[in-house]
Amino acid sequence: MQDQDTRPPLFGAHSPTESRIETAVLAGGCFWCLEAVFRELHGVLKVDSGYCGGTPDTADYEQVTTGRADHAEAVRISYDPRQIRYEDLLTVFFSIAHDPTQKDRQGNDRGRQYRSVIFYADESQKTAATAAIEQLTRDQVYKDPIVTEVVAQAPFYPAEAYHNNYAACHPDQPYVAHVAAPKVSKLRRYFAHMLHRAPLS
């Protein structure tokens, strides 16, 4: 999304009323960046980095980063739908977390493991994802076509423990400082009304 001084619109208009905890699985580049962004949102209870789209025998960082496994680096977001909607997560996904017009890459990270994917859990999530892409396309938010895949949720395999909350734990790591941190700063600028009142533990 073009950097601008107005807050990007939210998708959809319904209010959350359900009390159960729900999950969303999203992929769009390095999971360190995705986790850093989504952990900031009020209503998000937990964010797990991991691998989705491939087989269990290839669900490890060493194999996924080769690009030969079919996994995407992904995050599993556990959230309270009374406090944040799935559509709100999609708004942040498309406007802050990554560039959905980049095919099988994000910036200098190249390979199918960095593809843009929404792994939907049910028809409601599928409908929301499709509607969001249609709206962005209709409104010509991006110059290039959106290449985000919308596919049925495959098994999610948690990443190695050292990846958890990586950006917060390693703020001086060059990749975190130059790629993840600017995304978090942009989120705080445009979506201050959606942030945690206290840091997510």
Beta carbons of 88 and 195 less than 8 angstroms apart? no
- Inter-residue contact 114 to 104 (CB < 8 Å): yes
Cα(41)–Cα(195) distance, integer angstroms:
4
Q: Which is catalytic among the residues 30, 33, 52, 169?
A: 30
Listed residue (63, 47, 26) closest to 153, CA to CA: 26
Backbone φ and ψ of 42, nearest 5°:
-65, 130
First to last CA, the chain: 30
Candidates 33, 23, 3; CA nearest to 163 is 33
The verdict on whether 30 is a catalytic residue reads yes
Q: What is the dihedral of CA 116, 42, 142, 67, to 10 degrees?
A: -20
In degrees and rounded to multiples of 5, residue 151 shows phi and psi of -135, 155
| Residues designated catalytic | 30
